[in-house]
Structure 1
Amino acid sequence: MKKVLFLLFAFVCALISACKKDAAINNQNSAANVPVKRANASPPGDVVGKVVVGYQGWFAAVGDGSPINQWWHWAPNWGATPSASNNGIKSWPDVRDYTTTFQTGWANLNNGSQARLFSSYTTQTVNKQFEWMQQNNIDCAALQRFNPTGGEGPVRDAITAKVRDAAQTYGRKFYIMYDVTNWTNMQSEIKTDWTNKMSAYTSSTAYAKQNGKPVVCIWGFGFNDPGRPFSAAACLDVINWFKAQGCYVIGGVPREWRTGVGGSRAGYINVYHAFNMLSPWLIGAVGNVGDADNIYNQHMISDQADCNANGIDYQPCVLPGDLQLHQRAHGDLMWRMFYNAVRVGAQSIYISMFDEYNEGNQIAKTAESSAFIPAGSNFVTLDEDGTPCSSDYYLRLTGDGGRMLKGQIALTATRPTQPIVGGGGTGNPPIGQTITLKSANNLYVCSENGTQAMNANRTAVGGWEQFAITSAGSGKVALQNSGKYVSSENGTQAITCNRTAVGPWEQFDWINNGDGTISLRGSNGRYVSSEGGTQAMTCNRTTIGSTEKFRVNQ
């Protein structure tokens, strides 16, 4: 009898302990407001487990060879040159990486360079932007496609082909994202467009597939506004038609899609549940970290649970913030949104947007300081809150957000991305230190005492082979020897070390190559080259090869 009572007592104690442990875990989860992550509705593919950027590709310029031959989206009056009185953008792009740009009517930049803009129609522009995606491990681009039956149709068709080619070249994925805004005959014409034109792109190795099916996104069903008046029946017809074509269909939907109030039309829940993936729109709803957390608590947790219950993949938006409205907080807003998306268990993340300079929420390269905006303009630059940020900062931040989504780095609320490139084998720019630079030929860079063009041909270190590194502002550096500064000569002639003051040509980006070397990029967007030590050094290379890499203090 005693033995039985003892065993019963032990069992009760163990049960109480287990209950306390479960309660502690539940309280911990409740305190952190973190839902239990469930299994993905779909396995990893080209979209699930990946970061996707919204890609407008909608900028053109007079003289770019495009069918439209106007300043498409750069200005409200497309027929007139963009200027201070004809401006259609919120943020000024950094165009130093483009070889083909177009002169505007804006005043010269504050660094003296001409105020020029790119065209999305030029092959070099599309290639460069997809190269940025490759460099920053951005997986996929959702190519926006508005009503293609109007005057913009031919240029959109041409850009689609350029996007396919660039995606193939740089190992990225892309898919078509139809925006149905103001598309009067959408229900029939979207099917015709897919059948006659867009479906052909699914044969490309770069076209995104999910669950073995080509991906299509339809943005705008269920929004409660005059520009998208489609009935629930019409929407369901289009979704089911695409699914019958063998497509995996994503819906860009209102953030109130579950409740059918506010921005969502009532009675559309069956429309939303017909999609394979849902991507609620957040532009205009998030302007700071507090807003991001409110969206997480009021929408995302329940959105993910609803998607899980209905076998739908969830793709919340992440946005950098409107730069002109000072929302970005040098990346803290965007990182909070990445953190919230990953901790809620999202299957994918959609970046709003890659190249949306019109609304100021682009992640593509942007003017980093007042030196890179037109004189007299009021464009806000990336260093607006006093923290210098390199022009590629939000591309790099997106790359790190993707690594967190994929589990390559731990879930963290602390942004790991530094506003200025640094770390790795070379560390941050050694401001205040004196260094040497050894080129790929194992010889040292020489200032030539400022009396002739610089060379990389010295076997030993003397006074002319040592350079003091100083800050040039906005994350850039200047190199000084014997009281004079190294000049890129704007890439038009051999570089020298004979300037007495720092101007645009004396400022360089310090780039960590991640292999124990650094590169230097001039204000012309070109890289310093050692020229193999066989001739005077230049600053005219468009890409980094062995002769554009230098080892520090070796």
Structure 2
Amino acid sequence: MKNKLHFLFILSIAVLFGCRKTGVNSKLDPINGSKSGVVALGSPVGDVVGKITVGYQGWFAAIGDGSPINAWWHWTQNWGAAPSPSNNGIKSWPDVRDYTNTYQTGWANLNNGQPAKLFSSFSDQTINTHFQWMQQNDIDCAALQRFNPNGSEGPVRDAITAKVKTAAETYGRKFYIMYDVSGWTNMQSEIKTDWTNKMSAYTSSSAYAKQNGKPVVCIWGFGFNDNNHPWSAAVCLDVINWFKSQGCYVIGGVPTHWRTETSDSRPAFLNTYKAFNMLSPWMVGRIGNVNDVDNFYNNVQQADQTYCNNNGIDFQPCVLPGDLQEHQRAHGDFMWRQFYNMVRLGAQGIYISMFDEYNEGNQIAKTAENASFIPAGSNFVTLDEDGVACSADYYLRLTRDGGRMLKGQIALTATRPTAPIPGGGTGIPYGQTITLKGSNNLYVCSENGAQPMNCNRAAVGGWEQFTVVNPGGGKVVLQNGGFYVCSEDGAQPMNCNRTAIGPWEQFDWIDNGDGTISLKGSNGKYVSSENGTISMTCTRSAIGATEKFRVNQ
């Protein structure tokens, strides 16, 4: 009660003197009666405050991918040999259906008969696909992990940074450099040189994250009480203050118990932590079920948030989907409880641990949804491990809804609103904005309603995204730019130019059972991509390759 009264007092003073709030949810919390999502003494909404940030490794490679490292980087224990049951470095198997460039492994074929292939982060198409997923799921920002760049991995890390910049610009996402200083022997001098000579140049990009008008940089690993992070508080403070002198907004990836400086935090580090503009305590390995989530909320994170509010520090707690291999996810309930708690806490932002961390099993990126998508004979756990079927993109969609709750776009709710299968089990993603990719690996385009529709776009823009409208009766309507897609009753090429919904604007959504869907018009015929060679039609009497579309892939 004392903490609640103190928080409300601080909040009232902040409002009285005109302190700014973020745009996140400010509805009354039904649990404790306090305002949720209100920043008491923090920064205004920017590229990280009030936003969802994902940790992005970008550290996978394959022999023959053209990368400077030319190795099975991070897929294996022995990077010089192909991934296999005896040479494995990952805990979760990715869903690779969206990638055009994949590489053959030594694993047996998938249970669906397809070859067991993996992607390379060095491929432009891979990183573009990841940032497209971020765009489709309203993920605002990616924190690109950067480890000691002075060893043999430096050139590939440099190359991937440039690729991330391009992808972020293409798909309208933000990114910033997140230095993981683990094991970096000459960190104090070399991190400054790396920023000055290489990374600072990226801040001129329109996609580089800014907060309070300053480029964002994160340093992960100061104060951890182990041999891999040996620096004194004075050394760490020097580095923080140097980055601030360069005009940066500096985030600290700090130990879980940073404030009390017990067990995982080195002693006498509190003043160093206070020098950061934002704090993001690490949570991987700390929680594994909903009870753990609530215990940390009650016993640690409320006091963390109050301390940050009282000291003018922004707070960006970690939210994690859970280790899939350890059966922590509970088909999204584990992750959603964290979103709920952090929004009612009033956190300034949320950091997702992680986007593509297949090594630790904490990835939200597309993952094998059932046994048909993992190598035969392997023991990889799939998203349906507890008997609830989940689509490969489920944790991306869950993150989207968590972000919507953070921003006040949906009400604070303890009940997870995200269906494990789009459409609440119907398989139809009502209310979502989707893309449709034809068998020619190109996207369906509305042509802005100015001419007949085509399936010939290599990238996603506004004309290639459709909102799925529910007209009732199990039908679907596709909308773009305020207009509806029309089959033209098969009499002429399809258009997206109708202002009202009639029979020709309604389609049956057919799940083909192979990861694709088809659309049947009111004339009983199927929509065809026409392989992108001519305008799309609704004239086919049977489903073939050109009548199949992949959603959000």
Deviation digits for residues 412-470 of structure 1, max 9, x if unmatched? 1010111111133555999xx8999998542369xxxxxxxxx99xxxxxxxxx9896x
In structure 2, what residue type is equivalent to 1:283?
V
In structure 2, what residue type is equivalent to 1:262?
S
* 1:381–1:444 Cα change, 3 Å: farther
> Hey, what does 2:70 align to over in structure 1?
69
Matched, 1:229 2:209: no
Partner SS, residue 32 of structure 1: coil
* 1:41–1:434 Cα change, 3 Å: closer
Partner Cα distance (1:112, 1:164) in 2: 36
> Hey, what does 2:537 align to over in structure 1?
532
Q: Is the Cα contact below 8 Å between 1:509 and 1:520 reproduced in 2? A: no
> Hey, what does 2:31 align to over in structure 1?
32
* 1:467–1:248 Cα change, 3 Å: closer
> Hey, what does 1:239 align to over in structure 2?
240
Partner Cα distance (2:80, 2:310) in 1: 51
Partner Cα distance (1:286, 1:178) in 2: 24
What's the offset of the Cα at 1:202? 0.1
Q: Is the Cα contact below 8 Å between 2:528 and 2:536 reproduced in 1? A: no
Partner Cα distance (1:384, 1:521) in 2: 36
* 1:444–1:299 Cα change, 3 Å: farther
Runs of at least 5 residues in structure 2 that lack an aligned partner in the other structure: 1-7, 9-27, 424-429, 432-467, 479-483, 495-506, 520-525
Moved more, 435-444 or 358-367: 435-444
Matched, 1:443 2:489: yes
> Hey, what does 2:284 align to over in structure 1?
283
Partner Cα distance (1:388, 1:468) in 2: 19
Partner Cα distance (1:333, 1:280) in 2: 18
> Hey, what does 1:370 align to over in structure 2?
371
> Hey, what does 1:129 align to over in structure 2?
130
Partner Cα distance (2:128, 2:185) in 1: 33
Partner Cα distance (1:428, 1:420) in 2: 20
Please tell me whether Structure 1 or Structure 2 has the larger radius of gyration of its CA atoms: 1
Partner Cα distance (2:113, 2:471) in 1: 28
In structure 1, what residue type is equivalent to 2:116?
A
> Hey, what does 1:250 align to over in structure 2?
251
Deviation digits for residues 151-206 of structure 1, max 9, x if unmatched? 10000000000000000000000000000000000000000000000000000000
Q: Is the Cα contact below 8 Å between 1:73 and 1:88 reproduced in 2? A: yes
Q: Is the Cα contact below 8 Å between 1:509 and 1:521 reproduced in 2? A: no
* 1:544–1:282 Cα change, 3 Å: closer
* 1:215–1:538 Cα change, 3 Å: same
Q: Is the Cα contact below 8 Å between 2:528 and 2:547 reproduced in 1? A: no
Partner SS, residue 537 of structure 2: helix
Deviation digits for residues 471-516 of structure 1, max 9, x if unmatched? xxxxxx34xxxxxxxxxxxxxxxxxxxxxxx7x4xx53589xxxxx
Q: Is the Cα contact below 8 Å between 1:367 and 1:391 reproduced in 2? A: yes
In structure 2, what residue type is equivalent to 1:538?
A
Partner Cα distance (1:109, 1:233) in 2: 52
Partner Cα distance (1:281, 1:297) in 2: 17
> Hey, what does 1:329 align to over in structure 2?
330
Q: Is the Cα contact below 8 Å between 1:181 and 1:227 reproduced in 2? A: yes
Partner SS, residue 177 of structure 1: strand
What's the offset of the Cα at 1:276? 0.1
Partner Cα distance (1:368, 1:427) in 2: 26
Partner Cα distance (2:379, 2:67) in 1: 30
> Hey, what does 1:299 align to over in structure 2?
300
**Aligned ranges for residues 201-212 of structure 1 at < 5 Å?**
201-212=202-213
Deviation digits for residues 126-155 of structure 1, max 9, x if unmatched? 000000000000000000000000110000
Q: Is the Cα contact below 8 Å between 2:509 and 2:517 reproduced in 1? A: no
Matched, 1:156 2:130: no
**Aligned ranges for residues 307-456 of structure 1 at < 5 Å?**
307-422=308-423, 423-424=430-431, 425=468, 440-443=486-489
C-alpha RMSD of the superposition:
3.4
Partner SS, residue 53 of structure 2: strand
Partner Cα distance (2:477, 2:276) in 1: 58
Partner SS, residue 268 of structure 2: coil
User: Of the candidates 513, 516, 519, which is equivalent to residue 508 of structure 1?
Assistant: 516
In structure 1, what residue type is equivalent to 2:545?
T
In structure 1, what residue type is equivalent to 2:410?
I
In structure 1, what residue type is equivalent to 2:312?
G
Q: Is the Cα contact below 8 Å between 1:101 and 1:117 reproduced in 2? A: yes
* 1:435–1:190 Cα change, 3 Å: closer
Q: Is the Cα contact below 8 Å between 1:53 and 1:141 reproduced in 2? A: yes
Q: Is the Cα contact below 8 Å between 2:516 and 2:549 reproduced in 1? A: no
Q: Is the Cα contact below 8 Å between 2:48 and 2:349 reproduced in 1? A: yes
> Hey, what does 1:483 align to over in structure 2?
none
Q: Is the Cα contact below 8 Å between 2:487 and 2:538 reproduced in 1? A: yes
What's the offset of the Cα at 1:124? 0.2
* 1:510–1:149 Cα change, 3 Å: farther
In structure 2, what residue type is equivalent to 1:139?
D
Partner SS, residue 443 of structure 1: helix
* TM-score normalised by L of structure 1: 0.76
What's the offset of the Cα at 1:33? 4.7
What's the offset of the Cα at 1:299? 1.1
What's the offset of the Cα at 1:298? 1.2
**Aligned ranges for residues 104-123 of structure 1 at < 5 Å?**
104-123=105-124
In structure 2, what residue type is equivalent to 1:222?
G
Partner Cα distance (1:317, 1:218) in 2: 15
Q: Is the Cα contact below 8 Å between 1:289 and 1:336 reproduced in 2? A: yes
In structure 1, what residue type is equivalent to 2:365?
A
Moved more, 143-152 or 530-539: 530-539
Partner Cα distance (1:318, 1:377) in 2: 29
> Hey, what does 1:19 align to over in structure 2?
none
* 1:38–1:435 Cα change, 3 Å: closer
In structure 2, what residue type is equivalent to 1:442?
E
> Hey, what does 1:488 align to over in structure 2?
none
Q: Is the Cα contact below 8 Å between 1:67 and 1:154 reproduced in 2? A: yes
What's the offset of the Cα at 1:68? 0.2
> Hey, what does 2:83 align to over in structure 1?
82
In structure 2, what residue type is equivalent to 1:508?
T
Partner SS, residue 488 of structure 2: coil
Partner Cα distance (2:385, 2:370) in 1: 8
* TM-score normalised by L of structure 2: 0.77
**Percent identity over the alignment?**
68
**Aligned ranges for residues 22-61 of structure 1 at < 5 Å?**
32-33=31-32, 37-61=38-62
* 1:111–1:247 Cα change, 3 Å: same
What's the offset of the Cα at 1:313? 0.1
Partner Cα distance (1:434, 1:202) in 2: 47
Partner Cα distance (1:321, 1:170) in 2: 27
In structure 2, what residue type is equivalent to 1:173?
K
Q: Is the Cα contact below 8 Å between 2:147 and 2:179 reproduced in 1? A: yes
* 1:181–1:444 Cα change, 3 Å: same
Partner Cα distance (1:247, 1:406) in 2: 25
**Aligned ranges for residues 440-479 of structure 1 at < 5 Å?**
440-443=486-489, 477-478=511-512
In structure 1, what residue type is equivalent to 2:289?
N
* 1:200–1:521 Cα change, 3 Å: farther
